[in-house]
Amino acid sequence: MKSKKIMTINVSTMLLVAMLSAVVSHHATASRGAMINPTVVVTVNRKAVLDGLNERAEAEAQLRAKTEDINAEDVRWKEELNDLGTQIKAMEQGPERDKLLTGFQRKNLDYQGFRRYAETKIDIERSLLYESLYNSISTAITLMAESEGYDLVIVDDSKAPFTENPDARVSREGHILQQIAVRRIMYANPMIDITQDLIVRMNNANNAG
């Protein structure tokens, strides 16, 4: 009798311990879940940011000034070549005309070299401009995310218009399908868009600097 009673008590105790362990485990799991905050996601319109930055407008103005200087130099080269061409046409065949024609050809080669150099220079400066702007935007987004508590900042490409390139080697259909393939966002709630806040923050920093 006594043995059966002890056995019954032991079984009851084991069941109670198992139930308590399950309850404690459930509360621990729930507590860990409550400690994990939801991911804060925001979006930004990259083109709108680029268009709204004072930094870009200032850099574009400097590039335009350099382009104007190059265009003025180009006009000077063309005028000199035209003057030489006019002289050569007015001359009769002979050593003097041949000498002037040789000079014209050399000058024309120098002009072509100038054009290649000028175009490459502007292209390099424009590429460096956009690289610098991208780095500035990336840094500003990082600082903004850290201060505002954003976990993920995504470029919103859902509203970007489709473009056509008549010179492309693919069909128009293929060109559109390529653009569709690289799209990543179908819809983004405007409430999570930080584009204007980012523009204001960057312009204020640019004005202060």
Which of the two residues, 158 and 30, has the higher pLDDT score? 158
Query: pLDDT tens, 78-135?
Result: 999 999 999 999 888 998 998 999 999 999 999 999 999 999 999 999 999 999 999 9
54-90 vs 95-148: helix axis angle to the nearest 10? 170
Within the chain, residue ranges assigned H as helices are 2-35, 46-52, 54-90, 95-148, 172-182, 195-208
Neighbours of 47 (CB within 10 A): 14
Biggest distance spanned by C-alpha atoms of the chain: 141
Q: Is 192 helix (H, G, I), strand (E, B) or coil?
A: helix
Q: Which residues make Cβ contacts (< 8 Å) with residue 141, sequence separation at least 6? A: 44, 153, 198
Distance CA 116, CA 49 (A): 32
**pLDDT band (50, 70, 90) for residue 160:** confident
Whether the pLDDT of residue 4 is over 50: the answer is no
Neighbours of 20 (CB within 10 A): 10
Q: What is the mean pLDDT of the chain?
A: 85
By the 10 Å C-beta count (0-12 exposed, 13-18 middle, 19+ buried), 43 is classed as buried
Query: What residue spans define the domains of the chain?
Result: 1-36
Neighbours of 150 (CB within 10 A): 17
34-38, 52-56, 90-94, 173-177: range with lowest mean pLDDT: 34-38
Which of the two residues, 67 and 34, has the higher pLDDT score? 67
Q: Is 38 helix (H, G, I), strand (E, B) or coil?
A: coil
Query: pLDDT tens, 166-209?
Result: 777 888 888 889 888 988 899 999 999 999 999 999 999 999 97
